[in-house]
Amino acid sequence: MNSSNNITETDNYWSSISKSVLAPVLTIEMILGILGNGLVLVVKVLCKEHYACQYWVPLFSLTLSDFLCSGLIVCGSLSAVLTEGQLSPWCELVSLLKFTFITSSIGSIALLCFQRFMGIPSKGNRLSVFMALACAASWFTGMVFGVVPVAYDWIRYDSAEMLCAVFWESSYSDMLVYILCAFSISIFIPLLFIISCSILTWAGMGKDTSSQGDLSSVTPMLVILYLLCYSSFSASELVLLGRFDLTPSPDWLRSLSSVMAYLDCCLNPVIYCLNKDFRRALLILIWNKRRAISSEPVLTAITRLDI
């Protein structure tokens, strides 16, 4: 009886923290993520002649992933915090999309690092078609690993993670096989490409032909931010692997992993704007919109005609 009362008090305490602290944080991350990534997508499509970007396919894929994550996943987490739950089938869909966006974002960064190292531009080359297909494959892989928990009914609402997540109720072997497969294919291989290509490019062994003003020059900052923001997510999964009784990682760690993952989505647009040419393209877009709004005809004089 005492243990159950302690659990209830802990849940109520955590619920009060979620509403008072996490709700404002998620609101800020959602607004910044939607507006920032939405504006970046518009600049990449309408103002691409004002800045150089040889490796635009993985960068576009990364921005699209961040935009959808901010609009769907972060919004879903905020709604779950305010309503204290998620209903089916939105619950299962959010879990599937979360896997998709995590895999597509790390896959896009890995392809960006690989393209810079090999000097393969995103246009005018047959290998660029292969790079685009590889980028699409990262999205498809995330969808596949997201469908598996839904198909096996492993999805439950997690108040600490603020959305529906995988809860293991069968056996440790099932959990071990799934996580190892998902991490090996979706996380470990792209991470290996990111680290190795980044080190080799930094050491001057790459074939990157882009100029210093190219948008891909922000790649090191994107890599550092991604590794920093997703370190808590990796720690949470490693803690789960080390527990044979299938108990999840601590509540604070699961909440931190979600908040930090969302932070990556809303800070990436800031990193893009560190590039001078891209920042100028953004200002040109905003200035043209202001001119278009103020270009309506204005009555300045009246001439009287005598008949």
pLDDT tens digits for range 101-124 = 999 999 999 999 998 888 888 776
Does the reported pTM lie above 0.75?
Answer: yes
Q: How far apart are CA 269 and CA 23, in angstroms?
A: 22
Across the chain, mean pLDDT equals 81
Cα separations in angstroms, 217 against 202, 211, 213:
11, 8, 7
User: Comparing 137 with 253, which gets the higher pLDDT?
Assistant: 137
**pLDDT at residue 208 tops 60:** yes
- Tracing tokens 């072997």 back to the chain, one arrives at 173
Query: Which range (174-178, 258-262, 300-304) has the least confidence?
Result: 300-304
Domain residue extents for the chain: 21-284
Architecture of domain 21-284: Up-down Bundle (1.20)
Look at residues 14, 30, 7, 6 and name the one whose alpha carbon lies nearest to residue 160. Answer: 14
Which residues in 275-293 are b (16+ Cβ under 10 Å) and which e? bebbeebbebbeeeeeeee
SS3 call for 169: coil
**Does the structure show a pLDDT above 60 at 304?**
no
**Which residue from 233, 232, 113, 246 is spatially nearest to 176, judged by alpha carbons?**
246
> What is the predicted pLDDT for the residue at 160?
79
pLDDT in tens, 230-251: 988 888 877 777 766 667 778 8
